[in-house]
Amino acid sequence: MDLASLTTPCALVDRARVERNTSRMSERMRALGVRMRPHVKTHKCVEAARLQVRGHFGGITVSTLAEAAFFAAAGFRDITYAFPLAIPAIARAAAVARAVEHLHVLVDQDVVVTALEAYAAEHAAAAANPHAARFSVFLKLDCGYHRAGVDPASPDAVRLAERLARSPAIDFRGVLAHAGHSYDCRDADAIRTVARSERDVTVAFAERLRRRGIAAPEVSIGSTPTMSLATDLAGVTEVRPGNYVFYDAFQAAIGSCTLEDAAFSVLTTIVGQYPEQNKLIVDAGALALSKDPGATHVDPDCGFGVVFTADGSRQLQELHVASLSQEHGQVHGSRPLRFGDYPVGSRLRIVPNHSCLAAALYDRYHVVDAGRVIQEWRPTHGW
């Protein structure tokens, strides 16, 4: 199928770049001696997940229980649900756990441990499989991002790990952290510094537990920026980057990748020229690109994506995605535009700021190779 026959706006996935991004990360991690348990939340589709796990043990990471159930149904057997387990979601998590070999959850709250123990006590006797209500649990550690997780410096962190390790209802896997603060970086050197700290803090905490006699077999870390640039992962057992499958304008701005690595883009049609305002209107608005503001700490005027020619071959630096309403994208000229270059009805390609949020707006991705649509991938959605 030809790109020209697609209805816009629509989501394009560059097959060759996904292959390259996934192979490169997979090889990097093999060279660094860690297992890949890639995150699938960016694309939420089976085809991309299969490319991510090639050459590794097959485990994946998900951000919702809907993803966990979807990937379990597609045959993935070892899944980490990397979002703090909600108490009302315990029964749903247990149902998914019964459908796979391993479902690992993460916890940083005492009351959730109590709730897991209560659930296990209530269900262990009744279950056909005595292990069905025994949860595989990571302790979520705050390695500097300060979103969720226990502070490794606090006495509570060790106490909670001890509680998890000793609980008969729980199979304690180890520690898990996410260096989301790598997204605050402005360049590759800064990302490498965060990567070192992510490893150091998490491995040091696991070693502290081991010195106290707490078995913490797994040390799981990994954001896309840090895993794209880390050079030493000694002591880490597995990593969970996800965005790297697609990368995006944000990752390129902070130095995780280049724009040539961006595998997800939105094809859009120019619906109007407004020469008196030196701008175009395109049919990619907030529902096509998401309203993620992008790496404004690197470029305050970054707009809502990076514009390319429709075939993706050439960046159009004079075009700036200045604002988005629900369906309208306003593309301003950063210098006086030659409007003959941008006929009404012709198309552009926009690499969004944040591919995770933009991809989630689509019910299908058109997978493109050598200018042709060769496949259609269908992501899951919801919770």
Q: Which amino acid is at 282?
A: V
Out of 204, 344, 374, 378, the only residue in the binding site for a copy of itself (CB under 8 A) is: 344
Binding mask 314-343 for a copy of itself (x = CB under 8 A): -----------xxxx-x------------x
State which residue, 81 or 233, has the beta carbon closest to a copy of itself: 81
Write down the least CB distance from residue 153 to a copy of itself, Å. 11
From 169-177, 184-192, 251-259, 270-278, span contacting a copy of itself (CB under 8 A): 270-278
The string of DSSP codes covering 301-370 is: T-TTEEEEETTSSSB-TTEEEEEE-SS-EEEEESS---GGGS-TT-EEEEEES-HHHHHTT-S-EEEEET
Cis peptide leading into residue 293 (ω within 30°): no
Binding mask 119-158 for a copy of itself (x = CB under 8 A): ---------------------------xxx--x--x----
Q: For the chain, first and last CA: distance in Å?
A: 33
Query: What is the distance between the alpha carbons of residues 120 and 13, in angstroms, rounded to a whole number?
Result: 43
Instruction: Give me the torsion for CA of 138, 144, 149, 153, rounded to 10°.
Output: 90
- Site membership for a copy of itself, residue 291 (CB under 8 A): yes
Rg (C-alpha) for the chain, rounded Å, is 22
What angle (nearest 5°) sits at the alpha carbon of residue 337, between those of residues 335 and 341?
140
State which residue, 103 or 203, has the beta carbon closest to a copy of itself: 103
Instruction: List the interface residues with a copy of itself, window 168-207 (CB under 8 A).
Output: 180
- Site membership for a copy of itself, residue 8 (CB under 8 A): yes
CB atoms inside a 10 Å sphere around CB 236: 24
Out of 16, 74, 86, 118, the only residue in the binding site for a copy of itself (CB under 8 A) is: 86
From 8-16, 18-26, 212-220, 246-254, span contacting a copy of itself (CB under 8 A): 8-16
Instruction: List the interface residues with a copy of itself, window 44-63 (CB under 8 A).
Output: 63
Write down the least CB distance from residue 110 to a copy of itself, Å. 9
> Closest Cα partner for 20 from 289, 326, 260, 307?
260
341 phi, psi to nearest 5 deg:
-75, -15
Out of 3, 9, 53, 139, the only residue in the binding site for a copy of itself (CB under 8 A) is: 9
- Site membership for a copy of itself, residue 293 (CB under 8 A): yes
Out of 214, 247, 292, 373, the only residue in the binding site for a copy of itself (CB under 8 A) is: 292
Write down the least CB distance from residue 69 to a copy of itself, Å. 11
Do 244 and 224 form a contact (C-beta atoms < 8 A)?
Answer: yes
CB atoms inside a 10 Å sphere around CB 276: 6
Write down the least CB distance from residue 80 to a copy of itself, Å. 14
- Identify the DSSP state of 41: T
Binding site for a copy of itself (CB under 8 A): 4, 7-10, 41, 63-64, 83-89, 92, 108-109, 111-112, 115, 146-148, 151, 154, 180, 269, 271-274, 276-277, 281, 283, 286-288, 290-293, 325-328, 330, 343-345, 347, 356-357, 360-363, 381-383
